[in-house]
């Protein structure tokens, strides 16, 4: 009996989605819970798994179609003998049934995604053949993995063709990579820790760039709209503080192995920064507030947004009620949300409702950034890169010495309608003091 596959409703306020990729073609076998297609909505990009096992008999809408929720987008047959329709590209001249998706004029944020053969955002990593593939070409079996898994493989010099996959249809998971790395012979010493930086990829050929304008993807269009709205809504002001992170850097180096063994996640600097920010927000709740219809809305909970840069855009997953979480719970939650954002596993509820956001632009090497406020919040903090620098230290007797310290810049962007410079300065001074005087155990 044929089973209809519909455009899912990815959140209470989300009424449509755009198909960005078909992971199966008519005639392919589909297992239950195996990813079938990818969609983009106002909140998240996500892989949509099949609810049943069977044969994909028909794809009704091509990539780029923006459809109302519950629209039938494909049909799965429960037997191998079911008729299979021609690929949708071969019957593009046949119009879709009017009842399934009535044509409506699309506003700018609903621009259809670009055709598959034209990249939506051009970058050297997408154009240069040496970098585009995360694993060597020509494996004996098809390699199914997420962007996170491919990045892990690249960092550790692993050929994914050699990693057994335990996921659906042999999909390689991050646990499979971790298990592979735990084997003594998994990573040869010569590739585990390169003695010098890897060679930069070759310059892309300008002729590989599309000659015609490339339409914005749905996510890029939404980002453009929201950034413009934020700049038009909030008079932005910024404060930059330089923080001595030496105590934290030393503690992290001492405890990183034990922490990962106990909690299953790497010990990064983010939970330290998040803890200091949460404590400062509790002392200065105006920084965690919102301006609504001429009144100040104070938030009793701190819902901490963590900006995650994706290959196809930017998303802000949210650690809810962060003020009640332990250090380890913060570390686990941030790692989990970031990984699921990169693998399109977030639900819309996990990417909305934040009251304050952290954005780590320092991972790209910059000193600091001047971030745009994530509406309807009133403040956002950008984290700069951590660098060892000479610094002047003054002892209790007033004697000055020069020492090598681990220094980091933090920039608070705030809505000057609601937050005065004095309040922003007090908040940042408290944040700085917590990090520089860090003396607590992490468990």
- Provide mean pLDDT across the span 193-217: 77
Report the C-alpha gap between 113 and 65 in whole angstroms: 8
Q: What residue ranges do the domains of the chain occupy?
A: 3-97+106-110, 124-192, 236-436
The domains spanning 3-97+106-110 and 124-192 adopt the same CATH topology: no
pLDDT at 188 over 80: no
Of these ranges, 100-109, 122-131, 157-166, 286-295, the one predicted with the greatest mean pLDDT is 286-295
CA-based Rg of the chain, rounded to a whole angstrom?
25
Fold of 3-97+106-110: OB fold (Dihydrolipoamide Acetyltransferase, E2P) (2.40.50)
Which residue bears the tokens 């020492």?
A: 403
The pLDDT of residue 314: 84
26 touches 76 (CB < 8 A): no
Fold of 236-436: Chloramphenicol Acetyltransferase (3.30.559)
pLDDT tier for residue 78 given thresholds of 50, 70 and 90: confident
Q: Just list the catalytic residues.
A: 416, 420
- E strands, 199-278, in order: 236-244
Q: What percent of the chain has pLDDT over 90?
A: 46
Stretch (H or E) spanning 154? helix 147-156
Pick 69 or 9 by higher pLDDT: 69
Angle at 196 between CA 194 and CA 200, to 5 degrees: 105
pLDDT tier for residue 99 given thresholds of 50, 70 and 90: very low
241 touches 426 (CB < 8 A): no
The neighbouring-strand residues paired with 318 are 305
pLDDT in tens, 398-416: 999 999 999 999 999 999 9
- What is the average pLDDT score of the chain? 81
Question: Cα separations (Å) of 82 from 3, 23, 24, 179?
Answer: 11, 20, 16, 40
The closest alpha carbon to 167, from 138, 145, 142, belongs to 145
Report the C-alpha gap between 268 and 29 in whole angstroms: 41
Q: What percent of the chain has pLDDT over 70?
A: 77
- E strands, 349-399, in order: 356-359, 379-394
Report the C-alpha gap between 263 and 334 in whole angstroms: 13
pLDDT tier for residue 110 given thresholds of 50, 70 and 90: very low
pLDDT at 39 over 80: yes
Pick 191 or 207 by higher pLDDT: 207
pLDDT in tens, 9-21: 765 556 788 888 8
- Provide mean pLDDT across the span 13-32: 86
Which residue bears the tokens 């913060």?
A: 330
Architecture of domain 124-192: Irregular (4.10)
Q: Which residues contact 223 (CB under 8 A, 6 or more apart)?
A: 313, 314
pLDDT tier for residue 1 given thresholds of 50, 70 and 90: confident
The pLDDT of residue 15: 75
Which residue bears the tokens 């932005």?
A: 236
pLDDT at 242 over 90: yes
pLDDT at 101 over 90: no
pLDDT in tens, 261-287: 999 999 999 999 999 999 999 999 999
Q: Taking the CA atoms of 373, 379, 380 and 382 in sequence, report the sign of the dihedral they define.
A: positive
311 touches 247 (CB < 8 A): no
């Amino acid at each position: 009996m044929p089973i209809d596959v519909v455009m899912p409703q990815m959140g209470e306020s989300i009424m449509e989605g755009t198909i960005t990729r078909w992971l199966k073609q008519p005639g392919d076998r589909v297992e239950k819970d195996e990813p079938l297609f990818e969609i983009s909505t106002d909140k998240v990009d996500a892989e949509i798994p099949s609810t049943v096992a069977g044969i994909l008999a028909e794809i009704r809408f091509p990539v780029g179609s923006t459809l109302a929720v519950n629209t039938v987008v494909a049909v799965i047959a429960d037997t191998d003998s079911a008729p299979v329709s021609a690929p949708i590209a071969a019957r593009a001249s046949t119009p879709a049934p009017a009842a399934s998706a009535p044509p409506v004029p699309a506003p700018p944020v609903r621009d259809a995604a670009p055709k598959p053969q034209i990249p939506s955002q051009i970058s050297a990593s997408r154009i240069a053949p040496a970098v585009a593939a995360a694993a060597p070409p020509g494996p004996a079996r098809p390699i199914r993995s997420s962007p996170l898994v491919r990045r892990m493989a690249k960092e550790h010099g692993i050929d994914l063709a050699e990693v057994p996959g335990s996921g659906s249809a042999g999909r390689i998971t991050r646990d499979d990579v971790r298990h592979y790395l735990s084997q003594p012979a998994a990573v040869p010493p010569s590739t585990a820790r390169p003695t010098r930086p890897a060679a930069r990829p070759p310059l892309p050929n300008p002729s590989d760039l599309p000659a015609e304008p490339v339409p914005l993807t749905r996510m890029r269009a939404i980002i453009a709209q929201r950034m413009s709205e934020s700049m038009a809504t909030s008079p932005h002001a910024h404060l930059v503080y330089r923080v001595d992170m030496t105590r934290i850097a030393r503690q992290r180096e001492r405890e990183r192995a034990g922490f990962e063994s106990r909690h299953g996640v790497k010990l990064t600097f983010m939970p330290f920064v998040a803890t200091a920010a949460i404590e400062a927000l509790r002392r200065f709740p105006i920084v965690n507030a919102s301006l609504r219809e001429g009144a100040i809305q104070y938030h009793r909970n701190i819902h901490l947004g963590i900006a995650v840069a994706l290959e196809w855009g930017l998303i802000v997953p949210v650690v809810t009620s962060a003020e009640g979480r332990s250090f380890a719970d913060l570390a686990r939650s941030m790692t989990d949300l970031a990984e699921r954002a990169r693998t399109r596993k977030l639900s819309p509820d996990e990417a909305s409702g934040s009251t304050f956001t952290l954005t780590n632009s320092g991972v790209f090497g910059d000193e600091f950034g001047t971030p745009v406020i994530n509406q309807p919040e009133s403040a956002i903090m950008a984290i700069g890169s951590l660098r060892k620098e000479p610094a002047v230290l003054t002892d209790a007797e007033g004697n000055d010495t020069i020492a090598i310290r681990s220094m980091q810049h933090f920039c608070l962007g705030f809505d000057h309608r609601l937050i005065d410079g004095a309040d922003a300065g007090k908040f940042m001074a408290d944040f700085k003091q917590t990090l520089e005087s860090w003396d607590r155990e992490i468990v």
